Amino acid sequence: MSNGTTGNVHLLDHPLVQHKLTLMRKKEASTNSFRRLLNELSMLMAYEVTRDMAMQEVQIETPLETMTAKVIDGKKLVFVSILRAGTGILDGMLTVVPGARVGHIGLYRDPKTLTAVEYYFKMPQNMQDRDVIIVDPMLATGNSAIAAVDRLKELGPKSIKFVCLLTCPEGIAALQKAHPDVPIYTAAIDRQLNDHGYILPGLGDAGDRMFGTR
C-alpha cells in the first residue's frame, strides 16, 4: 500500500482508503453504510500498521515436503480501543489479526473543558511483553489520545502506535508534543479544529454516526 510518511506521521493514501473515507464523510451516508465502510477501511489500515510486526519461523508440512515458514505472533499484539468510537476500527482490525488481544479505555470528553475523563480501563496481562496499537477514529484535540498513551505507558509495553481515521494539525501537534515516540497512522489530515473540538471538514461525530445515536 502506498504510504506518505512525514516524521512520525503515516498518511495512508491508498486509493481504496481515500475512496471509502470520502463516502463516509458524506452527510447522507446511513449508519449502516458508515459502519460497513469503517470496518472495510480498518482492515486496510491494519495491513499498513502491522507492516513491521515481528514474525517467527515454524516447521510445517506441505502436501509435498517439510518447510520452514513464517507466522506472526498475534498474541503479542494488543489492540486498545478508546470507547466508544474505537469499537468501529477494532472490529475491522480483529478480522485481519484474529489472534490479537484487546484492551479498552473508557474516556469521555468533558463538553466544557474538552479534557479527557477516564471511566474504564481494562488491559490483558503481561503488557510489558506486548506491542500496543491504540485505535480511535478521530484525533482531534489530542486530549483522549494523550490520556490513553499516558495510562498505557504506566504498564511499560514494548511499543505503542496510534491509529485514527482522521486528524488535524492541532491533534498531531498535541500528541507529538506529549509523546514524540508514538507514531500516528491516519487516512487524512484535515484543515483545523472548530471551537467545539470538531475536525473541519471532518465527518461529524464518529460515535453518533457509527451507532446512530443522534
For ligand URA, the binding residues (CB under 6 A) are 85, 138, 140, 197-199, 202, 205-207
Residue entry with cell 494488543: 78
Please give the grid coordinates belonging to residue 174: 498535541
CA distance 92 to 37: 10
The reply to whether 113 belongs to the active site is: yes
Please give the grid coordinates belonging to residue 134: 491504540
Out of 36, 91, 151, 208, which one is annotated catalytic? 208
Out of 6, 62, 66, 113, which one is annotated catalytic? 113
Out of 205, 209, 213, 214, which one is annotated catalytic? 205
Residue entry with cell 491494519: 46
Q: Quick one: how far is CA 23 from the chain centroid?
A: 19
| Minimum gap (Å) between residue 62 Cβ and ligand URA | 48
The reply to whether 73 belongs to the active site is: no
- CB nearer ligand URA, residue 50 or residue 81: 81
| Minimum gap (Å) between residue 194 Cβ and ligand URA | 8
Out of 109, 129, 141, 214, which one is annotated catalytic? 109
Closest among 165, 99, 106, 102 to 137, alpha carbons compared: 165
The reply to whether 25 belongs to the active site is: no
Q: How many CA atoms lie within 13 A of 119 on its CB side?
A: 7
- CB nearer ligand URA, residue 89 or residue 123: 89
Asked if 174 contacts 164 with a C-beta cutoff of 8 angstroms, the reply is no
| Minimum gap (Å) between residue 48 Cβ and ligand URA | 22
The reply to whether 91 belongs to the active site is: no
Catalytic residue positions, numbered: 109, 113, 205, 208
